[in-house]
C-alpha cells in the first residue's frame, strides 16, 4: 500500500516536472517521463530483491536456530532410510542430562495422506523437538503412532504428538498398555527423571489406546504392517513391526547396536536369542531397525548383539554345570567378546546379563527335571 502511494507521488511529480519543460514536444515529454518512471521502478524492484534476500537470510538463520542439537552428541534429523521411511538415529548411550533423555530411534512412515510414527522418544520436551523435525520431512498430519514396548525412553514422547493431534491412534501390545497403566510408566518416569531431569510436561501419560496382537495385519492409509509379538524376549510387552511396503523390520529393543540396555524381570535372554535366530534364518527384509544404534542390512545389524547373547548363554551354561557363580567366570567371558569393547555400558551391564542368563538356565533345567 505504502509503495503504491509512493510510486503515484513520484509519477505525479515527474509528470508535473516534464510538463513544466516547454521546449520539448509532447511526445518527447512523455518519452522522458517514461524513462524516468522506468528508472525509478527498477530501483524499487532492486529494493524488493534486497528485501527478499534479507528475508531468505532470516529464514536461513531460523533454520540454524531450530536445529535439534544435543551438546557433544551433535545434531539430529530424520534421514531417508527406505521407501517412504525416515529414521532419526538417537545417541547410542544411556539416558542422561546432555542427551535430554533422547537416545532411541524414532521413525516416520509417509503415507498418501499422513504420517505414521514409531517410538517417538523419551519425554514430552524431546517429543516437541522431534515433532518439529518430523515437520521438516512432511507437513502431513500424524495419523498413527506405534509403540514397540513398555520402556518409557520409547513412548513418553507420545504426549507431544497427542497435544498437537488429540485424535491420533496410538497402538501397542495389550500387555504394554496394561503394565504401563499399572505402574511401569511410573517406574520409568522415576528412572528417566533421575537420569535426565527433563520429564516436565510428560504427565499425564499419553498411553496407547489401540491394541496390536501377534500375527496381526494392519493397513493404515495404504501402508501395510505385520505385527509379531514374541511371548518373552526383550520384555513380554514387545511388538516387532514389519512395514511390508518398504520391507523394513522394526525390532524395538530386541536388537541393539553399540549400546547395551538392561534385561528386567519381564525379559528373557534365551527368548531374545531364539527370536533373533529365527529372524536371521527366516526373514529377508531390506532394512533392519534396532531400538538403539544404526539400522542396516540383516547381518550387519543382528550378528554382534546375537553373538554376544549366545556367548553369554553358552559359557553361562557351562559355568552353571560346573557349579560356578557368574562373578567367578565373568572376566574370562568378557575376554571372548572383543567386538563388544566399544559398546556403551558393556563393562557395566555384562555381569548382570550373565547373571540373568545363568538364572534362566537354572530355571529351565529345573523345569526339565520335573518333566
Ligand atoms: Zn527397552
Say what the pLDDT of residue 369 is. 84
d(CA 364, CA 371): 11
- Residues of the chain under the 50 pLDDT cut: 1-22, 29, 33-58
- Rounded to 5°, the CA angle 114-166-289 comes to 50
Strands 107-110 and 115-118: antiparallel
CATH match of 68-370 with 3.20.20.70: no
Which backbone phi and psi does 138 adopt, to 5 degrees?
-160, 145
Q: Which residues 6+ apart lie within 8 Å of 27 measured at CB?
A: none
pLDDT at 224: 98
pLDDT, residue 17, reads 39
CA of 235 to the centre of ligand 1 (A): 8
Between the CA of 337 and the centroid of ligand 1 the distance, in Å, is: 22
Q: How far is the CA of 12 from the centre of ligand 1 (A)?
A: 74
Ligand 1 centroid to Cα of residue 332, in Å, is: 28
pLDDT single digits (tens) 273-330: 999 999 999 999 999 999 999 999 999 999 999 999 999 999 999 999 999 999 999 9
Q: How far is the CA of 151 from the centre of ligand 1 (A)?
A: 5
Q: Which residues pair with 117 in a beta bridge?
A: 108, 145
- Are 192 and 151 in contact, with CB atoms under 8 Å apart? no
Q: How far apart are the CA of 149 and the centre of ligand 1, in A?
A: 7
Distance 11 CA to ligand 1 centre (A): 72
C-alpha cell at 244: 511390508
DSSP calls for 97-122: TTTTT--S--EEEE-SS-EEEE---S
Whether the bond between 204 and the residue before it is cis, its omega within 30 degrees of 0, is yes
Sketch the domain layout of the chain as residue ranges: 2-65, 68-370
Burial 203-222 (b: 16+ CB within 10 A, else e): eebbbbeebbeeeeeeebee
Task: Decide if 90 contacts 99 (C-beta within 8 A).
Answer: yes
Whole-number Cα distances in Å, 279 to 191, 228, 284? 31, 11, 9
Q: How far is residue 137's CA from residue 68's CA, in Å, rounded to a whole number?
A: 14
The whole-model pTM stands at 0.82
Amino acid at each position: 500500500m505504502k509503495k503504491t502511494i509512493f510510486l503515484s507521488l513520484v509519477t505525479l511529480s515527474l509528470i508535473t516536472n516534464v510538463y513544466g519543460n516547454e521546449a520539448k514536444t509532447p511526445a518527447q515529454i512523455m518519452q522522458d517521463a517514461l524513462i524516468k518512471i522506468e528508472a525509478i521502478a527498477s530501483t524499487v524492484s532492486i529494493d524488493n530483491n534486497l528485501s527478499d534476500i534479507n528475508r531468505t537470510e532470516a529464514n536461513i538463520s531460523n533454520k540454524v536456530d531450530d536445529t535439534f542439537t544435543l551438546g557433544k552428541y551433535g545434531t539430529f534429523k530424520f534421514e531417508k532410510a527406505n521407501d517412504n521411511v525416515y529414521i532419526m538415529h538417537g545417541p547410542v548411550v544411556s539416558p542422561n542430562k546432555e542427551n535430554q533423555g533422547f537416545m532411541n530411534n524414532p521413525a516416520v512412515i509417509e503415507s498418501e495422506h499422513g504420517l505414521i510414527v514409531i517410538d517417538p522418544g523419551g519425554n514430552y520436551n524431546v517429543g516437541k523437538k522431534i515433532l518439529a523435525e518430523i515437520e521438516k520431512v512432511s507437513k502431513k498430519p500424524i495419523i498413527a503412532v506405534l509403540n514397540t514396548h513398555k520402556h518409557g525412553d520409547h513412548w513418553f514422547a507420545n504426549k507431544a504428538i497427542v497435544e498437537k493431534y488429540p485424535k491420533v491412534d496410538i497402538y501397542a501390545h495389550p500387555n504394554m498398555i496394561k503394565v504401563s497403566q499399572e505402574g511401569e510408566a511410573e517406574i520409568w518416569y522415576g528412572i528417566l527423571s533421575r537420569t535426565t531431569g527433563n520429564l516436565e510436561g510428560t504427565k499425564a501419560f499419553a498411553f496407547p489406546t489401540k491394541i496390536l496382537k501377534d500375527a496381526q495385519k494392519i493397513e493404515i492409509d495404504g501402508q501395510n504392517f505385520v505385527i509379531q509379538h514374541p511371548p518373552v524376549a526383550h520384555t513380554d510387552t514387545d511388538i516387532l513391526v514389519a512395514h511390508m511396503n518398504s520391507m523394513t523390520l522394526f525390532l524395538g529393543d530386541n536388537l541393539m547396536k553399540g549400546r547395551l540396555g538392561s534385561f528386567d524381570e519381564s525379559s528373557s535372554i534365551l527368548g531374545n536369542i531364539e527370536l533373533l535366530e529365527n529372524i536371521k534364518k527366516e526373514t529377508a527384509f531390506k532394512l533392519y531397525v534396532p531400538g538403539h544404534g544404526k539400522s542396516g542390512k540383516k547381518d550387519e545389524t543382528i550378528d554382534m548383539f546375537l553373538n554376544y547373547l549366545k556367548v553369554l548363554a553358552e559359557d553361562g551354561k557351562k559355568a552353571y554345570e560346573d557349579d560356578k557363580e557368574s562373578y567367578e567366570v565373568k572376566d574370562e567371558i568378557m575376554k571372548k567378546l572383543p567386538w563388544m569393547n566399544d559398546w556403551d555400558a558393556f563393562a557395566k551391564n555384562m555381569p548382570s546379563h550373565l547373571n540373568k542368563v545363568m538364572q534362566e538356565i537354572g530355571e529351565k533345567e529345573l523345569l526339565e527335571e520335573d518333566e
